Structure 1
Amino acid sequence: MREMLLSEYGKLKSIDTPVEGCWINITSPDSEDISFLKEMGVEEDFVYDSLDQEERARFEQDEDLVYIITKLPYFDGEDKAVPYKTMTLGIAMKSGYFVTISGFKSAILEDLIEGRVRDVSTKKRNRLLLRIFDRGTVYYLRYLKEIRRLSNEIESELHRSTRNKELVAMLNLEKSLVFFTTSLRSNELMYEKLKRAHILTLYEEDEELFEDISIENRQAIEMANIYSDILTGMMDAFASVISNNLNVVMKILTIVTLALQIPTLVASIYGMNVALPFMDSPSIFYWSMGLSGLAAVIVGFILFKIRWFK
């Protein structure tokens, strides 16, 4: 899907043909969109890199074109197991044009298009680039807080009932944190190299914004690491609880087995088809049952005295 936008009077409006100072946003490009980008001077390899979700964040310069790959947080509502993921966004900046390429529809770009972010102008390419970076870090922090909230809910469920379902859910949250941590670190390296390269011409307020973006990105990395450590610790703790519960069950079964061992032995002896003492007595059944019960009580008392029940 191709969308061309131009800022006028502080708002973005859609246009039919590209003009100087416009923003061209392409989502899930088809062959026609790729041909259009090639006519704009964007390399086909860069388009495919922008659609590769495993691509790392980076930038490169080719004459008057600047190519940037950044990693943005992405909420996949169709994936109930691991909804929080990251996506690749390709940005091509050419004199007079600003092009974004992605494989998925991004809530971050939608915020910019729908005017939920202040001071967005398609005619200021570097400022628009920084707004995308800034909004990306905001969503990283927002999704990290949501992951923490979900982990607290799962922890509460695990306190009531330790089940595999909750442990699998925690493992899925751990996957999301791994995605976030990897992408945030990749972005951090790209930001640092982009600053040192002096490719972007930034005003003083833009430099302050870029510094804020770097700080928030590092904060997001720290949050992701902390939440990951907490989840790992919880998973290890509850795995120990499950193992301990299994040991308790096996202990109870062992106690029951030992308590019934002697009555089982008595019943087995009097079940043999040979001559036994008192076998002709009419009360031998009651005596054998009484002795079996007494033996079970004695074994149980002995196990209690040696603290097997604790």
Structure 2
Amino acid sequence: MLRMFSTVDGQVRQISKPENGSWLALADPTDVELATVSQETGIDLADLRAPLDDEERSRVDVEDDYTMIIVDIPTVEERSGRDWYETIPLSIIVTKTMIITVCMQDTPVLHPFMEGTIRGFNTFMRSRFILQILYRNATMYLRYLRIIDRETDKLELRLRHSMQNREILMLLELSKTLVYFNTSLKSNEIVMEKLMTLTRIKQYPEDEDLLEDVITENKQAIEMANIYSGVLANMTDAFASIVSNNLNNVMRIFTMISITLSIPTLIFSMYGMNFQQGMIGMPLSDSKWGFLVIVLLACVLAGAVIWFLTRSRLFK
């Protein structure tokens, strides 16, 4: 999808043809759209395709006629009725007359710019536009990290009552997401440091506060990702120990039942093979109450075993 925007009388308007000071937004573009933009702007087609690879690394490439900035942005993917978070690359290409953004999907990071809800946004102020995108990107990371934190709290409450494979897998998925976020944020931080020393992109004095805000928000997102990763790692270890302890408790109960049942089984098996009238050496073989007495004796011995096992240190 190719959309073009330009600031007209302080308002962001969608236009049909590219012009000086405009913004070209490519989201999940077709080959025809990429070829069209390449011909009209002079940007190498390979550079336009670069952010369409989800494994593309964050970097800054300086060419003769343009500068390409690639950063990782957060995105939401729905799987099995749940939202999962990952990162994808976003390319910001700055030429002498316009700015082009390329992404493999329609990202919510850029929606406020298209809707004109970003304060002080103008398409022709390219350096400020880059900082505003980076600031919006950092705030999106913070927003998703807070959502992940709330989901972790809900998952912890569920794990206290039910420890099924589904909850454990969700915990591991959130942990993996935080690793991706942390790696992407650190890569974006390197890009920001390089942008500060890049002379090609003009820095306006009034943008210094915005640049400081971008760096601060990104560092805060890195710290939050590290904290949440540590919390999830500790939670995973704790619940793994709990699961192991619960398994030991179940095995202890089964062992007690097995030992208890072995006593009457032994008695009944001996009398079942040798319980004949007049059998020498078999007590109660001649008594009409012999069977009942043996059953009661087996129950008493089984009860005694249960009493002993419940009070033994080995089964506490």
Q: CA–CA distance in 2 between the matches of 1:43 and 1:35?
A: 9
Q: CA–CA distance in 2 between the matches of 1:161 and 1:237?
A: 14
Counting matched residue pairs gives 310
Aligned to 2:195: 194
Q: 2:293 aligns with which of 287, 292, 297?
A: 287
CA-to-aligned-CA distance 1:217-274 (integer Å, 9 cap, x gap): 1110110011011111111111111110110010011111112221110000011157
Secondary structure class of the residue paired with 1:83: strand
Q: CA–CA distance in 2 between the matches of 1:125 and 1:79?
A: 40
Q: Report % sequence identity.
A: 37
Aligned counterparts, 1:232-243, within 5 A: 232-243=233-244
Q: CA–CA distance in 1 between the matches of 2:216 and 2:190?
A: 13
Change (3 A) 1:247 1:160: same
Q: Which amino acid aligns with 1:152?
A: D
* 8 Å Cα contact 1:82/1:175 also seen in 2: no
Q: CA–CA distance in 2 between the matches of 1:141 and 1:77?
A: 20
Q: What's the offset of the Cα at 1:63?
A: 1.2
Q: Which amino acid aligns with 1:162?
A: M
Aligned to 1:83: 84
1:5 matched to 2:11? The reply is: no
Aligned to 2:29: 29
Secondary structure class of the residue paired with 1:258: helix
Secondary structure class of the residue paired with 1:271: helix
Aligned to 1:257: 258
Q: TM-score, normalised by structure 2?
A: 0.94
Q: CA–CA distance in 1 between the matches of 2:302 and 2:212?
A: 76
Q: Which amino acid aligns with 2:32?
A: E
Q: CA–CA distance in 1 between the matches of 2:36 and 2:83?
A: 34
Aligned to 1:302: 308
Q: CA–CA distance in 1 between the matches of 2:76 and 2:126?
A: 26
Q: Structure 1: 5+ residue runs without aligned partners?
A: none
Aligned counterparts, 1:204-283, within 5 A: 204-272=205-273, 275=276, 276=279, 277=282, 278-283=284-289
Say what the alpha-carbon RMSD is for the aligned residues.
Answer: 1.6
Q: What's the offset of the Cα at 1:208?
A: 2.2
Q: CA–CA distance in 1 between the matches of 2:311 and 2:19?
A: 90
Aligned to 1:16: 16
Q: TM-score, normalised by structure 1?
A: 0.95
Q: CA–CA distance in 2 between the matches of 1:81 and 1:236?
A: 24
Q: Which amino acid aligns with 2:46?
A: D
1:96 matched to 2:97? The reply is: yes
Q: What's the offset of the Cα at 1:309?
A: 4.7
* 8 Å Cα contact 2:54/2:89 also seen in 1: yes
Deviates more, 1:64-73 or 1:137-146: 64-73
1:180 matched to 2:190? The reply is: no
* 8 Å Cα contact 1:109/1:132 also seen in 2: yes
Q: Which amino acid aligns with 1:295?
A: L
Q: CA–CA distance in 2 between the matches of 1:82 and 1:57?
A: 25
* 8 Å Cα contact 2:12/2:116 also seen in 1: yes
Q: Structure 2: 5+ residue runs without aligned partners?
A: none
Change (3 A) 1:200 1:150: same
* 8 Å Cα contact 2:68/2:92 also seen in 1: yes
Deviates more, 1:47-56 or 1:142-151: 47-56
CA-to-aligned-CA distance 1:277-298 (integer Å, 9 cap, x gap): 2323211111111111121122
Q: CA–CA distance in 1 between the matches of 2:80 and 2:263?
A: 57
Q: CA–CA distance in 2 between the matches of 1:200 and 1:304?
A: 77
Q: What's the offset of the Cα at 1:138?
A: 0.7
* 8 Å Cα contact 1:82/1:172 also seen in 2: no
Q: What's the offset of the Cα at 1:9?
A: 2.1
Secondary structure class of the residue paired with 2:62: strand
